[in-house]
């Protein structure tokens, strides 16, 4: 009887992994390209919708130059701009502000600003006073 079970198991097709990773692959943050929020605005919102910088500026009631500077990475997305973009594209202001914040943090790491500050500033002493 045992030999019949062994035969049945051998005839079953084997499972294949098709060379896919069986564990989650983690890419180091420094290997992911730094993408300015303006590039995301351009590639994910303006291009697919066929909007120009000028049209967006007019619709948001801000100078088109501000949109152009954001797209070129020469200007940050402010709270005011985030609120306007969120209202216009039906997203949240947090979405736009988070894009800017993550970009700023990664840029600071690349520019060694984070490391410089860690060398200059000591952590606060956490022992309670006696």
CB-based burial of residue 68 (10 Å sphere; 0-12 exposed, 13-18 middle, 19+ buried)?
Answer: middle
Structure tokens at 93: 């202001």
Residue 108 lies in a domain: yes
Instruction: Report pLDDT digits (tens) over 89-118.
Output: 999 999 999 999 999 999 999 889 888 999
Within a domain: 52: yes
| Mean per-residue pLDDT of the chain | 87
15 phi/psi in degrees, rounded to 5? -75, 140
Number of folded domains that form the chain: 1
pLDDT band at 87; cut points 50, 70, 90: very high
Q: Is residue 21 part of a domain?
A: no
Note whether residue 20 is domain-resident.
no
Output the domain CATH number for residue 57: 1.10.260.40
State yes or no: pLDDT of 121 exceeds 90.
Answer: yes
pLDDT of residue 130: 72
Whether residue 92 is contained in a domain is answered as yes
For residue 128, the SS3 value is coil
pTM across the whole model? 0.71
How is residue 67 written in tokens? 């949109």
First CA to last CA distance, the chain = 78
- Owning domain of residue 49: 35-119
Residue 74 lies in a domain: yes
Would 110 be classed as within a structural domain? Answer: yes
Q: For the segment 19-68, what is each residue's pLDDT rounded down to a tens digit?
A: 766 677 776 666 778 999 999 999 999 999 999 999 999 999 999 999 99
Q: Is the pLDDT of residue 18 over 70?
A: no
| Distance, CA of 66 to CA of 21 (rounded, Å) | 44
């Amino acid at each position: 009887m045992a030999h019949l079970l062994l035969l049945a198991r051998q005839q079953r097709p084997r499972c294949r992994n098709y060379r896919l990773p069986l564990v989650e692959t983690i890419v180091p943050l420094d290997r992911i390209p730094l993408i300015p929020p303006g590039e995301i605005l351009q590639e994910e919102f303006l291009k697919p919708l066929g909007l120009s910088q000028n049209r967006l500026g007019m619709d948001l009631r801000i100078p088109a130059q501000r949109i152009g500077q954001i797209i070129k990475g020469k200007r940050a997305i402010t709270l005011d701009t985030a609120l306007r973009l969120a209202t216009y594209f039906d997203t949240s202001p947090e979405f736009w502000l988070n894009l800017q914040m993550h970009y700023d943090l990664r840029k600071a790491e690349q520019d060694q600003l984070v490391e410089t500050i860690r060398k200059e500033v000591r952590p606060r002493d956490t022992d309670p006073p006696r």
